[in-house]
Structure 1
Amino acid sequence: MAESWDDLQKRQPLAAKMLMNSLQKNRVAHAYLFEGVRGTGKKEMALFLAKGLFCRQPVEGVPCMECDQCHRIAQGNHPDVHVIEPDGLSIKKEQIRLLQEEFSKTGMESRRKTYIVNSADKMTVQAANSLLKFLEEPHPSTTAILLTEQMHQMLPTILSRCQHVGFKPLTPVFFKEKLVEEGVHPTLASVLSKLTNQVEEAVELSTDEWFVQARKIMLKLYEVQKTDPFEAMTRVQSDYLPHFKEKSQIDQSLDLFLLIYKDLLYIQTEKLDHLSYPDWLDTFRTDALQTSARQLSDQLAVLLEAKRQLQQNMNTQLLMEQLMLKLQGGSALV
């Protein structure tokens, strides 16, 4: 999804400022490491940097986005800008070898060349060692941009040869605005902005009937368990278990539940723009007034413990039945 410079600045202001200064002062490093969680704009920023290096008519370092160079980079067919993606589960030595061969040739369009390695932490040991040699003896006018979510899985010798640029998780408020722009209903955008940092994933979930139903089930379960945890256990049997079957789905259900209790906390602290379920504000406001800060803290701890026990493969029905009982008391799961 193509993004404007204004979008990238809003999304990652510190990274954008650093790279813009480098372009304006013509002090672009020979190798960068863009590090941050999925969906934070690393690849978009890498392509922006590449456009800044090749653009025919940049304005104060900002690429025009209109010239043939910018268009070809955006479309992935510029002969001097190479993007390496994992081949299956890893980036293999052969991919790096072919890249080295390509870069031993004179640039097709200019003397400059740029390569972007996506998921650089997935390089095999052999590929990483080959890339290291490449970084140790950089070609003139060559810029490497490595993208990773797992910096700790990369060779320290590679890290030491790159300028590190950190990408922060998107703020839920900014992300919600982005989703609404993409056509997601504001009510769903509120909760989705807390569950993922990926615009594409959030848009897909917003039209997924399974997810829409999952949200309804967890809100109903919350309503029932407030007054009758035993009725809630019946609901676990009739509504919850048939809908949430895979471990990832169960984990997401606990996240949806956790966000309900976080909303109560936001209401108590008057942070209404942080709500995940703004359509439930009236109900939650009443509940927040009747819940002490201590009880709410205990309930949040119960939910976090349930997520931990899910990862230890605790039986789902037992986990949820305990959760219904413990939430009312606010005591930790045993």
Structure 2
Amino acid sequence: MTKTWDVLEEIQPTVLRMFKNTIIKDRLAHAYLFEGMRGTGKKDVAILIAKSLFCESPIDGYKPCEGCINCKRINNRNHPDIHFLEPDGLSIKKQQVKQLQEEFAKAGVESKQKVYTIVHADKMTTNAANSLLKFLEEPSSQTLAILITEQTQQILPTILSRCQIISFQPLSPKNLIEKLVEKGVDRNSAPLIAQLTNNLDEGLELSSDDWFAQAQKIVVKLYEVLKKNSLESLVTLQEDWFLHFKEKDQLDRGLDLLLLIFKDLLYIQLGKIEQVVYLNEKQRLEQFALQTSGRRLSDQMTAILDAKRKLHANMNPQLLMEQLVLKLQEGSTFV
């Protein structure tokens, strides 16, 4: 869904304020690098800037009207002077940039202005990045380039030095919660989702994902049996956990969900009830919080973070979880 200036201004106020002033004063740079986490509105702002430049009736001299033919064509990705370049497979190849350069050489089809957006600019091959340098070194006054990345460190320093870098801040959990609720997500579920992603679209997907709903139940069940005996916990791993959390990314998400339970218990002990995210389990968690200590909770959270680290180091998932369960029951950390 296309996002308007007003919507994006709520998400990235600093970025939009800067572009408002720049557009009004006609001082746009020839090349920008938009960097920040996934879901922070980078591509949406790139489209917005293009509309600001091509809109036939901009509001207050900078805000796209969203109703003229140019705004509609840009929203539909079919304006001849607006070009998007995205990875072909795993990378952006030299041939793609070469084709883009051929477009650079042409005059604008309908105006003198041309705008190019390179999505996942960090995925340019070295040859592709070197090919792009010529354009960045000899910019046309009528050409605007916007590079988008989540991995600034993967981009050649020579390209970085020729772009004005614009940093996009992560969506705050509070902001995301309100956006999720506006979209129909249950208010009791939204805080938990907002701890797992900064991305509204991903949050909406999680809210309607049966696998994710079941994952929460299994994680809560595992926590409950941890307070009993190790045998029952290991049985729960075999009968529930391993059948549900099969892939590495699924197991990582399961560990995140487990970590949030221990965080909630700590928040309850500290009297920070407003920061609890497992709202559907709040009453039971308040009872559980009476049965443990802050020191033990801290040790248990450290153990889960260690497990996440070992997961990414490719430790055997079954062995990892069995070790973790035993450590959580001891209340101590991994050796």
Give the stretch that moved more between structures: 260-269 or 149-158. 260-269
Report the AA paired with residue 5 of structure 1: W
1:186 correspondence with 2:190: no
Distance 2:291 2:10 in 1: 38
SS at match of 1:186: coil
Contact 1:221 1:235 in 2 (8 A): yes
Query: Unaligned stretches of 5+ in structure 1?
Result: none
SS at match of 1:144: strand
Q: Deviations over 1:251-270 (max 9, x none)?
A: 11101101111222333344
Give the stretch that moved more between structures: 71-80 or 269-278. 269-278
Distance 1:129 1:102 in 2: 17
Deviation at 1:85? Answer: 0.8
State the partner residue of 1:292.
293
State the partner residue of 1:17.
17
Distance 2:222 2:91 in 1: 42
Report the AA paired with residue 126 of structure 2: V
Q: Deviations over 1:161-215 (max 9, x none)?
A: 1111001111112112222222333333222222223333332232222221111
State the partner residue of 2:123.
122
Contact 1:173 1:274 in 2 (8 A): no
State the partner residue of 2:31.
31
State the partner residue of 1:90.
91
State the partner residue of 2:266.
265
Report matched runs for 1:232-243 at 5 Å. Answer: 232-243=233-244
Report the AA paired with residue 315 of structure 1: N
Deviation at 1:273? Answer: 4.0
Contact 2:171 2:199 in 1 (8 A): no
Distance 1:16 1:277 in 2: 34
Contact 2:80 2:109 in 1 (8 A): yes
Deviation at 1:296? Answer: 1.7
Query: Unaligned stretches of 5+ in structure 2?
Result: none
Aligned in 2, Cα 1:248/1:67: closer, same or farther, shift over 3 Å? same
Distance 1:47 1:274 in 2: 35
Distance 2:121 2:103 in 1: 19
Contact 2:306 2:334 in 1 (8 A): yes
Query: May I ask how many residue pairs the two structures share in their alignment?
Result: 334
Report the AA paired with residue 41 of structure 1: G
Distance 1:293 1:50 in 2: 52
State the partner residue of 2:142.
141
Report the AA paired with residue 3 of structure 1: K
Deviation at 1:117? Answer: 0.4
State the partner residue of 1:64.
65
Give the stretch that moved more between structures: 16-25 or 82-91. 16-25
Report the AA paired with residue 237 of structure 1: Q
Deviation at 1:146? Answer: 0.2
Deviation at 1:329? Answer: 2.6
Aligned in 2, Cα 1:270/1:173: closer, same or farther, shift over 3 Å? farther
Distance 1:252 1:244 in 2: 9
Distance 1:296 1:47 in 2: 46
Q: Deviations over 1:121-167 (max 9, x none)?
A: 01111110111101100112211100001111111010001111001
State the partner residue of 2:334.
333
Contact 2:94 2:127 in 1 (8 A): yes
Deviation at 1:293? Answer: 2.4
**Cα RMSD (Å):** 1.6
State the partner residue of 2:74.
73
Contact 2:189 2:279 in 1 (8 A): no
Report the AA paired with residue 187 of structure 2: P
State the partner residue of 2:5.
5
Give the stretch that moved more between structures: 141-150 or 262-271. 262-271
Deviation at 1:217? Answer: 0.4
Distance 2:131 2:321 in 1: 50
Deviation at 1:114? Answer: 0.6
Deviation at 1:39? Answer: 1.0
Report matched runs for 1:158-307 at 5 Å. Answer: 158-307=159-308
Distance 1:272 1:2 in 2: 37
Deviation at 1:314? Answer: 2.3
SS at match of 1:195: coil
Distance 2:78 2:299 in 1: 55
Deviation at 1:315? Answer: 2.5
TM-score normalised by L of structure 1: 0.95
Q: Deviations over 1:86-120 (max 9, x none)?
A: 11111111111111111211112211111100000
1:101 correspondence with 2:129: no
Percent sequence identity over aligned pairs: 56
